[in-house]
Structure 1
Amino acid sequence: MRYIYYSCFLITVLLLGACQSDAPANIQQTHSESSENVYTITDFAEQQHSFNQPPERIAALSNGEMDIIYALGAELIGKPSSTYSPSDYDVHDIEQVGSTHEIDLEKITLVQPEVVLGNSQMNSKDIPNIESLGAKFVLSEAHSVDDIKRQIQLFGQMLQKETKAEELLLEIDQYIEALKQNTEQNHTRVLLIYGAPGTYMAALPNSLSGNLIEWAGGENIASDFKQLEAYPQYAQINAERIIEANPDYVLLMSHGNPEEVREGFIKEMEQNPAWNQLEAVKEGRIEVLPSDLFGTNPGTRVTDALDLLVELFQTAQTK
């Protein structure tokens, strides 16, 4: 009987020892696997965001970010509130969650995103509100073609789609390289105006549209205008200096109704008869640019925006 007791006790001790020795190993292994899966990205606001796996529930506050996400092969559960309706992918049934100018926190709460994509200059103040909803607020911006390329790279890292991101970047780089060769002789003088009814500003080279003008071979006549403190990518309209520079083209862009902006600007010019001396006015070269390509970041469609400008400038050179 004593032998049986001893044997049972020994077996019990061995079993308990085995369980105890296995438990820490399992915990350590799980922790190790979890650590290996974690990856971190750094956004344009120098915020670090860590992920265990690529986020599937993403909301975007502007069209450029929406375009890049879909170009990378992912989808959104929240889209920007705008009149732009892309034809390359179906987003008609996706909930609108506001814009970088005005975030709809109620709608963001409704769709419950893991990640919200916003603007580093405009939305830094909104970080606490978004994070309080349990989402990561990944911020970027696009004031140049290089910025758009950085966005593609950042979102590619976030989605673990680096290979696709590299393909998109290569396409843009090849396009730009070919563009350089075709626009070397182009010296079209351009005035680029951002307009809203009653408000008009000249776009500077440090704005996205200003950068596109340069890549397309244009000469921005407002390049040395003094930038506005509140909007450092734009300058106040200086009629005297514009008339002196005599641009070949006056280009208008807006987030709103393009025809309304055009009519409003023409009325502004009529109040100053000197505008009629401009080459652009004499030749009828006052163009309203598509808002989906110029009123906002076009994302990977930046090549479409450049194509449009190159065509306009070539027309001016042949006349």
Structure 2
Amino acid sequence: MKNTLKGRASKIILAALMAAGTLGFTGINAEAMSSMPSTGSRPAMSMPPSSAVQGEDVDYIVSEDADTITVRDKRNKEVTIKKHPKRVICAYNSYLDLWYKAGGEVIGKVDDAAEKPVPGAENAESVGSVNQLSIEKMMSLEPDLVILSPAFKGHLEIGEQLEENGIDVLLLDSNNFREYTELAEVYTKINGRDDLYKTLVEDVVKEREDIISKVPSDVKPKAAIFFASIKDLKLRTSGHGVGEMLKDLGTVNIADGTGDGDLIPFSLEKIIEEDPDFIFVQTMGSDSEAIKETLKREAEEKESFASLTAVKEGRYIVLPKDLYLYKPNYRYAEAYMGLAEILYPEVFRK
């Protein structure tokens, strides 16, 4: 049976956009802030056209019937997944919490991320790390569905092996808000939990659009996003994740248009030249001390760094990983609100 709800998330986003108004505010008297506020258990809102996947149709669902759902995955391949799987492995922590919120459970997962615990998944067996999966361990668990991430070459290779052994494989992504709504719909349908669609998608779209509609239209604060790892420091563009959220909230990313891809080489000279109003820092990796050393070596210990407006005025902010490194998923509104309160405290901290 052809799925009559195909593109449902897209229609909800469009409806929210049409209903949203834009309020004008003046001034950007930002307050210093070293940690993110919590604004509730659910995040949300819709996406302006500029934030949509550029020129790309991201409707994942092709069709469904009572027992299966067919999706077009990130390999541009149509795959049919059996509904109500009983033995599921999730090999990417950023998807694990959403899978549980959509009514699913797992018997296998990758090594836990301390910053993103998932209640209910504590007893699932480890199948390795996200970068080094054990196909032998996976096969021994006799899964009927394995959730992988197309962002990792190793996942794509293992996915082919699993499919050759008759195991359903889901290779979808959610690099931006639009893709999140599609992925959430797929998960609820696989688990037979259409009743959760409103909470995970409709409510989230509305809440997110609510926040964006209150963003002042007459100010465009400049922002830089540092992406720090043990190895090096890079600048993030507005392609997805935090970059997309900040763009939706009216900022101008100083890295946009300066290189290809989501991450570009770090240039302190560029930072000094642009002198952004805000500097947001993402950290990648478990060795926090080594990451701090990277930040010091590449930026903080440079004499010119202290002269930056964002540094002098307390707007050099390290973002928490659970909302801004891992996928925020159903907490999107919380993530947007955390940034909005930093950017426009006179509007969002009333």
TM-score range, shorter chain: 0.7 to 0.9
Instruction: Please give the per-residue CA displacement for 1:143-191, whole angstroms capped at 9, x wherever unaligned.
Output: 2111111111222232232342243111111112211222134533221
Measure, in 2, the Cα distance between the counterparts of 1:42 and 1:285. 42
Q: How does 1:76-95 map to 2 (within 5 A)?
A: 76-84=106-114, 86=116, 89-95=119-125
Higher helix share: 1
1:54 — aligned with what? Answer: 84
Q: How does 1:84-233 map to 2 (within 5 A)?
A: 84=114, 86=116, 89-122=119-152, 123-185=155-217, 187-227=220-260, 232-233=261-262
Q: 1:181 to 1:270 in 2, by over 3 A?
A: closer
2:277 to 248, 260, 268: 248
2:265 — aligned with what? Answer: 236
Higher RCO (C-alpha 8 Å, min separation 6): 2
Q: How does 1:25-64 map to 2 (within 5 A)?
A: 37-64=67-94
Q: How many residues align structurally?
A: 280
**Structure 1 position 133, deviation (Å):** 4.9
The 3-state SS of whatever aligns with 1:225 is coil
Between structure 1 and structure 2, the one with the greater Rg is 1
Measure, in 1, the Cα distance between the counterparts of 2:77 and 2:130. 18
Q: How does 1:291-310 map to 2 (within 5 A)?
A: 291-310=321-340
The 3-state SS of whatever aligns with 1:254 is strand
Structure 1: runs of 5 or more not aligned? 1-34
Q: 1:307 to 1:96 in 2, by over 3 A?
A: farther
Do the aligned residues in 1 keep the contact of 2:81 with 2:168 (CA within 8 Å)? no
Instruction: Please give the per-residue CA displacement for 1:37-66, whole angstroms capped at 9, x wherever unaligned.
Output: 444233233333324542122211222311
**Structure 1 position 203, deviation (Å):** 0.9
The 3-state SS of whatever aligns with 2:285 is coil
Instruction: Please give the per-residue CA displacement for 1:187-233, whole angstroms capped at 9, x wherever unaligned.
Output: 33221121112311111111322112222333211112202xxxx21
- Aligned-residue identity in percent: 21
Do the aligned residues in 2 keep the contact of 1:63 with 1:299 (CA within 8 Å)? no
Do the aligned residues in 1 keep the contact of 2:96 with 2:118 (CA within 8 Å)? no
Do the aligned residues in 2 keep the contact of 1:41 with 1:158 (CA within 8 Å)? no
Measure, in 2, the Cα distance between the counterparts of 1:106 and 1:127. 13
1:266 — aligned with what? Answer: 296
Do the aligned residues in 2 keep the contact of 1:117 with 1:139 (CA within 8 Å)? yes
Do the aligned residues in 1 keep the contact of 2:176 with 2:244 (CA within 8 Å)? yes
2:19 — aligned with what? Answer: none
Between 234-243 and 152-161, report the one with greater CA deviation: 152-161
The 3-state SS of whatever aligns with 2:132 is coil
Do the aligned residues in 2 keep the contact of 1:194 with 1:254 (CA within 8 Å)? yes
Q: Which runs of 4+ in 1 moved over 6 A?
A: none
Do the aligned residues in 2 keep the contact of 1:41 with 1:157 (CA within 8 Å)? no
Q: 1:102 to 1:79 in 2, by over 3 A?
A: same
1:289 — aligned with what? Answer: 319
TM-score by length of 1: 0.78
Structure 2 counterpart of 1:148, which letter?
A: Y
**Structure 1 position 236, deviation (Å):** 0.9
TM-score by length of 2: 0.72
Measure, in 2, the Cα distance between the counterparts of 1:310 and 1:98. 37
Measure, in 1, the Cα distance between the counterparts of 2:274 and 2:331. 31
Between 256-265 and 56-65, report the one with greater CA deviation: 256-265
Measure, in 1, the Cα distance between the counterparts of 2:179 and 2:187. 12
Structure 1 counterpart of 2:93, which letter?
A: N
Measure, in 1, the Cα distance between the counterparts of 2:347 and 2:271. 20
Measure, in 2, the Cα distance between the counterparts of 1:38 and 1:181. 38
Do the aligned residues in 1 keep the contact of 2:69 with 2:82 (CA within 8 Å)? yes
Q: 1:267 to 1:71 in 2, by over 3 A?
A: same
Do the aligned residues in 1 keep the contact of 2:211 with 2:337 (CA within 8 Å)? no
**Structure 1 position 259, deviation (Å):** 5.4
User: What do you get for the CA RMSD once the two structures are aligned?
Assistant: 2.6
